[in-house]
Each structure stands twice: as C-alpha cells, then as structure tokens.
Amino acid sequence: MAPVLIWIPLVGLLTGLGSIKAQQTTLHPLVGRIFVHTLNHETFQHLPEHVAVPPTVPITYHAHLQGHPDLPRWLRYTQRSPHHPGFLYGTPTPEDRGRQIIEVIAYNRDSFNTTQQRLVLFTGNPEGPLLPYQAEFLVCSHDVEEVLPSAPASRFLTALRGLWEPGELQLLNITSALDRGGRVPLPIEGRKEGVYIKVGSASPFSTCLKMVASPDSHARCVQGQPPLLSCYDTLAPHFRVDWCNVSLVDKSVPEPADELPTPGDGILEHDPFFCPPTEAAARDFLTDALVTLLVPLLLALLLALLLAYIMCCRREGRLKRDLATSDIQMVHHCTIRGNTQELRHMAASRQVPRPLSTLPMFNVRTGERLPPQVDGAQVPLILDQH
C-alpha cells in the first residue's frame, strides 16, 4: 500500500499544475525481442503544425502501468536529462503476453503544463525462425541512451555481421551496465557507463566468436592478457567491446532433463550384502550409569580434601611465626606498638585547647579568630595587619 499512497499524490500534483490532455498510441512488442519506444518532446507539446517546438524546452516524464504505481517488470524507463528524449525499453517474456496499458505523463518545467499519453501494448509471439544462437557483448564506449535509437542499433548489427556466420541478426535485449552491478564512471570526458547488447541469430557462431568465449581465452583475461581474437574486429572503432565479457548461448542443443524420482511402495529391495540384526540383545545400563556419576563425584571430593588440607593444615600460625622472628625485632615491634597505644590514650583523655595552627582561620599576630558569620571561602588564609 505504501507505493500507492506515494503515487496518488504525485498524479494529483501533476494534474493540478495544468490541464492533462490524453492521447493513445498502439504498439506491438514481441516476446524475446527488444522493444524501444522513444518519448519525444514534440509528441507531448500538442502545438499546431505551423508553430515550431523550441528544442530547449525541459520536459520530464513519469510512466507507470495503468492501475499500478510502477512499470511492468520487463519494461524500463530512462532519460539522460530534461533536454533529452526519454526511452521505454525492455524485452517481454512469455508470461507478459497480452494487453497492457502504460500511462505516460509529461511535465513541462517551463510552463508547468502536463500532458498524458496512453500506450496500449499488445505483446505477441514473434514470427519467423527461432534464434537458438545468442551472444551478449559489453560495449564500453556507449551509454544505454546512445544505443536505444534505431540508427546506432542497426550500425551495431551491421558491424557484427562480419564476426558471425551469414544470416540475419536481431537484437534481443539491451541492458545498462549499471543494472548489472557496474559502477558509475568518473566525470571524465570519454568515460561511459557501458551497455550489454544481446543478439540472436538462426546461424551458428563463427570460429572467431567460439575462440573468444573459450576457456583458454578467459584464462588469458584472468591473467591480464588480451583474449584470443582470430578475426578482425569489425566493431572497432565505433564500438569498443570488452571481449573478456562475451557470453555465448547455444539453445539448439537440448539440455538434459532432470530425472524425477519415481515414488515406490516404501519397501526396500532384497540386498544380499546387507544383513540387518534380527533382535537386539538386552543390556544392563546400571554399571554405566554408576561409572558416569560416581567417578566425577569421587574426583571432586578428592580435590576438595586436597584444597582443605593446603588451606587449613599447612598454615604457619602465629606462635611459629613469633618463634622464627629474632628477639631484637620482636622487642622493637612491641615498643612501637606500646608507644602508639599510650599516645592514643593520652590524646583521648587530655582537655587542652586546640593549637591555633589547627583552627580554620586565625591571626598570627593577635590570635583573633574570624567571626562565624564571615564566609571563609572569600577571606584570605592569612590577614596582614599594618
């Protein structure tokens, strides 16, 4: 429910900024084929034919599936900036066959007007032969917005025909390298995000492509060496392909189906090498229980007795300590102790005034003490009499 609550105020905001004029376009994507629809600024302006559309008008788009806050899982949207066109692209799967309505709202950032367009998609099965031979290339010299238009895509297929067996090539999918876990490049001129281009054909792979995707070529890439490319790179210099990231898929060879286990009656077949015991002999666990319990208890008792002997029976004692001490040291100790007790007794019984030096505040010349109402913290310790 959270995405819906966010989407509804957004549509209401766009509706309040200007009048929404809806138009409808019918498109026919094909299962397993790349679908690209360009959102041009001129399509959403609704200006008369004799009025020229300023190319600098900034327009942003918001596309979603009708009745939902987001696009279908197979469809993606991208736009480089408000001054560039937007693209809806993706490859539908067999589960996406049928009718889908995509609502696109264009927002003019200068006039604050909004325009709505409905794209009715009828996804069906492709015609023609199957494309069992599929290859995916990482093009490092382009962004996804630069490959989605028809002209660069056709140029890529034309250049790729020089590396493939003769036959028709078709685009199957285009994916940004950022969607595959790639990192955003530094803001340096010539650095691109990269794009994955998947191509299919009914013709088999050439020897050159098989050599590029071989294990020996991948081993060279891991060691930092260039891959094995036995033919001329017809994609250069317009398309800089990372030949270490080329993957080939051959669907002409059927994959072995996993054998499902056949449910049985639950009874094992007779095995002459397996002889299970017929009866279990009776055992008396009393001895095992006594050994398990009594041995630790006896060991703990012995340790306790040993500790008690060391703590109690091995002490020196006061008499033994006094006998081991010399007479001179004992007399000296007794003298100090007796003098200390005598001084404490005299200090407790005398009734003489305290010395002036022990009073909190006093005058060294007159012996006058400060009155109690004076704050001693604000008066210096020694008062000078001039």
Give residue 17's pLDDT band: very low, low, confident or very high (50, 70, 90): very low
| Same domain? 154 vs 234 | yes
Mean pLDDT score across all residues of the chain: 80
Burial class (CB in 10 A: 0-12, 13-18, 19+), 294: exposed
Q: Across the beta sheet with 169-176, what order do the strands follow?
A: 169-176, 195-201, 133-139, 247-250
Residues 117 and 144 in one domain: no
Which of 56, 91, 125 delimits the end of a domain?
Answer: 125
Separation in Å, CA 153 to CA 86, 142, 237, 341, 370: 17, 11, 15, 109, 103
Instruction: Mark out the alpha helices in 148-285 (DSSP H runs).
Output: 150-160, 207-212, 215-222
Radius of gyration of the chain (CA): 47
Q: Is 120 found in the same domain as 64?
A: yes
Outline where the chain has alpha helix (H): 2-17, 144-147, 150-160, 207-212, 215-222, 286-308, 318-324, 327-349
Task: Give residues with Cβ within 8 angstroms of 17, minimum separation 6.
Answer: 107, 112, 113, 114
141-177 residue pLDDT tens:
899 999 999 899 999 999 998 888 888 899 999 999 9
Tell me if 280 is assigned to some domain: no
pLDDT at 6: 34
27 pLDDT exceeds 90? Answer: yes
**Single residue among 252, 274, 307 that ends a domain in this structure:** 252
Say whether both 6 and 91 belong to one domain.
yes
- Do both 146 and 73 map to the same domain? no
Q: Is residue 282 part of a domain?
A: no
Checking if the pLDDT of 314 tops 90, the result is: no
Task: Tell me whether residue 195 is in a domain.
Answer: yes
Q: Give the model's pLDDT for residue 366.
A: 62
Residue 371: pLDDT band (50, 70, 90) is low
Range of the domain at 50: 1-125
Which of 125, 144, 165 represents a domain boundary (last residue)? 125
Q: Do 39 and 118 reside in the same domain of the chain?
A: yes
Residue 32 CA to residue 28 CA, distance in Å, equals 13
pLDDT score, position 102: 94
Q: Is the pLDDT of residue 375 over 70?
A: no
Same domain, residue pair 243 and 146? yes
- Give Cβ neighbours of residue 15 (< 8 Å, ≥ 6 apart): 114
User: In the sheet that 86-90 helps form, which strands lie side by side, from edge to edge?
Assistant: 35-39, 86-90, 75-79
Instruction: Measure CA of the first residue to CA of the last residue in the chain; give whole Å.
Output: 90
Q: What pairs with residue 114 in β-bridges?
A: 107
pLDDT above 70: percentage of residues in the chain:
80
Q: Left, alpha or beta for 293 (phi > 0: left; psi -120 to 50: alpha)?
A: alpha
Reply yes or no on whether the pLDDT at 4 is more than 50: no
Q: How far is CA 70 from the centre of its chain?
A: 23
Contact indicator for 56, 83 with CB cutoff of 8 Å:
yes
Ramachandran area for residue 378 (φ above 0: left; ψ -120 to 50: alpha; else beta): alpha
Instruction: Please report whether residue 342 resides in a domain.
Output: no
Band of residue 365 on the pLDDT scale cut at 50, 70, 90: low
36 & 19 share domain: yes
In a domain, 347, yes or no: no
Q: How many CA atoms lie within 13 A of 81 on its CB side?
A: 4
Pair 111, 193 in one domain: no
Distance separating alpha carbons of residues 225 and 231, to the nearest angstrom:
17
Q: Is residue 40 part of a domain?
A: yes
146/30 same-domain check: no
Q: What is the pLDDT of residue 271?
A: 76
Is there a single domain that holds both residue 89 and residue 8? yes
Q: Total structural domains in the chain?
A: 2
